[in-house]
Structure 1
Amino acid sequence: MSLPRKALPVLAILPLILSGCNLLLAPFMMFAQEPTRKVPAEFPHLAGRKVCLIVWTEMDTLFEYPLVQLEVSEHVQYAMQSNVKKASFVSSREVVDLQRRELDWDRQHPGTIGRRFAADYTLLIEITRYSTRDPESPHLYRGHISANLKVYDTAHPDAPPTYRGTIDTLFPPDSPGEWGADDNSIRRATMEQFGRDVAGKFYDRQVKDK
């Protein structure tokens, strides 16, 4: 049986279409096969536990960004909920309300505060730097958040931290900054990355092997 004439041109270009598909797929295959390595959790014991996140920052930062404690806590909590298996969290707003209500909260032991919320662990995030522009390049926007991390076991509220770590997040990570960006978009992107960086301390993950 002979094929209709209209089908002949399609058959003629079919090998080209297929080869084109292969060419389009080639980059994907290359990226999919990029080598990765496993980075183990620095502190894997938050999985399946209730965690109280407390954000501390300098008064100057709090004056410029009154909601920074709530914003940072929410971004960190979101990243951890997505990656730390079966971890649950005290409401960020409840913790911030306590900080507003009890002005001497930072004189209390973090483990004691977590215990008041029936948490198993308290994660204290001490922000040491929170900025959206480099002082030497005020026209370029680049988010920078640095922090100390301390985990306290609320079963031992007077004990020292069971874990200590540091975070230094830059956004954009691989450029000196963005020209013409706005403060809010840079802050949001930097806090999103900061949240992922913090969460990465508490679960095993795969990263690109550079």
Structure 2
Amino acid sequence: MKDLNKVIFVFLFFALFSCRKDQSKNIHDSEIRDRYFNLEKIGWKSRSYTQVVEDIGFTATEVPIQYYLLKDQGIENLQHVDSLYEENKTERVIEFVFQQDEEKDLLNKDFTGMDYTAAVKYMSFGLDKDFYVVTSKKDTIKCSGVNFERNYKIAPFQKVLLFFSGIDPNDKIQLIYNDFLFRKGILKFKFKDPFTPVAL
């Protein structure tokens, strides 16, 4: 009889413990879902700044790293996405778009002063040297990589993704672009608020 009571006690203990663990997991999942919902509600790409110099528009948009993690990982395992965010929260991604006001192809020689193939190569492999970020703590962070999204003359703009590493997620940043490709000088884009109030 005593052995039966011990078995029942052990069984009840594990049942209660596993219920509490499931409840805390559900609460954590619920909190993560709320945070992502808030990010989506304010607009993943809502912090967008445009400057127009002569006939070319330059638009910088800071996109939260969570956007790309969810796009890649999906929403099935948000705790995994949360842990990936924690590992990568010092990364910043900025979408940068170049567009001519009459929607002409900006990689033509008329705009760049170089042949089309050389302009494509510069967008793909040389553009990272033209960008850096200054943090609110006055640190200068070089661009760690660029992904040029080729549109093969289908879209009336050119777009690149800029990657920066080692930035405190609470820091406000200013993107500096020293335009050697179109020779329009130095452009500054100040992002006023980090995404962290609603981020993970």
TM-score (norm 2): 0.30
TM-score (norm 1): 0.29
